Amino acid sequence: MKHCFTKISDTIKAYKDGLDYGHSNGRAVWFEHGKLYSCFSDDPIVIRMSPKRNQNVKKGEEWYLVNADRNEPRGLFGGPTHLFQTYSIFHEHPRISFSAAQAAGIFETIDERRINLIDFTPDIYDSVDRKDNEFDNFENNFPPGTEISYERENGEIVLKRAHRVGTVVLSDEQKGYFLCAMDESQYFISKLHRKVTSVDDAFAAMTPKEILQAREQRIPVQRQGEWFFFRYSDYDFLPKYLKQKISSTLIKEYKETNLPKKDTRGNDHILTRGIIVKNKFAVGWGTLRHSARTHRMLRLPRKGGEQPWVGIINRTQADWSVEGRRVD
């Protein structure tokens, strides 16, 4: 039996409550066979998944996977868009880009409800001002993947903000483990090189060992997309060949350089003055630009003869963006 609802929100709630078939007035949204659809997209906007595919829920408890792709025009029907209403009603459930999942080759597994939910962490929002006792250690209170932003007055930091969008780890029994998250307002999916058991474990798996060691030693690390940078010094965790190359390279040998990438179809990261060492490390100064401009420009200042910066790419096997293309 199908049910017709006057409001879009009531239709979405009825679907969440477990009804099998229904639609809103005019079929702006409808649901059938466990999937919720919008008239503005061919793909479902929510899929009711199999309880046995979630290692974190009680036996028999259903979970939903929400499509983060924004295909619907804003402002229709005089109220919130379908997706914003959906996000509100399903805020406690994981959200990923279905277009990125298509590019990563796991959407069929999702659509057939064969994907496994390994872990999910909800959105994190927090802030602190300089009068608070936690101001100095604020950055250490959050898990990997949290974006920290700063507000300054007269060059001094007066406010710190932390944000990490809800992050998901999925596994496909044939294709491996995938981290689904957001970076600089863009959803992405990354294929991991090993089995992981949690979101934090997934971020650790994708982070180069040198960066993990740098953070353990409280060495400041900057990042643009897949690349991590820190100021060079004679650290024990850096290989001898890298130290020898840096000590023997003259400043004039540092040129505008495209950093190595995992796939020729990926976007370029361009360092204004750099060298590449054994196709693993990028070394240099200046600015790091992203050819697709989906990442903010990263400034790596020389500051009058100081040591260069060392860059290392993440350890994922491949990365895909919300537009369904590789982002490395």
Residues 30-49: tens digit of each pLDDT:
999 999 998 877 889 999 99
Q: Specify the pTM.
A: 0.81
Q: Which amino acid is at 293?
A: R
Predicted local confidence at residue 77, as pLDDT: 42
Predicted local confidence at residue 195, as pLDDT: 95
Lowest average pLDDT, out of 75-84, 113-122, 304-313, goes to 75-84
Q: Confidence band (pLDDT; 50, 70, 90) for 328?
A: very low
Who wins on pLDDT, 139 or 129? 129
Predicted local confidence at residue 71, as pLDDT: 59
- Is pLDDT at 149 greater than 90 in this prediction? no
Strands (E), 192-308: 222-224, 227-231, 255-258, 269-277, 281-290, 298-300
Q: CA dist 246 to 169, 232, 276, Å?
A: 38, 9, 10
Tell me how far apart the alpha carbons of residues 160 and 183 are, in angstroms, rounded to a whole number. Answer: 18
Tell me how far apart the alpha carbons of residues 269 and 282 are, in angstroms, rounded to a whole number. Answer: 11
- List the 35-38 sheet strands across, edge first: 3-5, 22-24, 29-32, 35-38, 46-49, 63-67, 95-96
Tell me how far apart the alpha carbons of residues 62 and 234 are, in angstroms, rounded to a whole number. Answer: 52
| Dihedral in degrees, nearest 10, Cα atoms 296, 269, 286, 253 | 180
Beta bridge pairs of residue 38: 29
What tokens were used for 41? 């997209």
Nearest to 66 by CA among 32, 90, 34: 90
Predicted local confidence at residue 282, as pLDDT: 96
- Is pLDDT at 316 greater than 60 in this prediction? yes
Predicted local confidence at residue 124, as pLDDT: 75
Tell me how far apart the alpha carbons of residues 156 and 113 are, in angstroms, rounded to a whole number. Answer: 50
For residue range 182-224, list pLDDT tens digits in order. 876 678 899 999 999 999 899 999 999 999 999 889 888 888 8
Lowest average pLDDT, out of 52-56, 122-126, 138-142, 322-326, goes to 322-326
Q: Confidence band (pLDDT; 50, 70, 90) for 297?
A: confident
- Is pLDDT at 76 greater than 80 in this prediction? no
What is the DSSP pairing of strand 3-5 with strand 22-24? parallel
Average pLDDT of the segment spanning 253-281: 89
Average pLDDT of the segment spanning 172-176: 94
Average pLDDT of the segment spanning 261-276: 85
Predicted local confidence at residue 80, as pLDDT: 44
Predicted local confidence at residue 243, as pLDDT: 95
**Residue 172 Cα to chain centre, angstroms:** 18
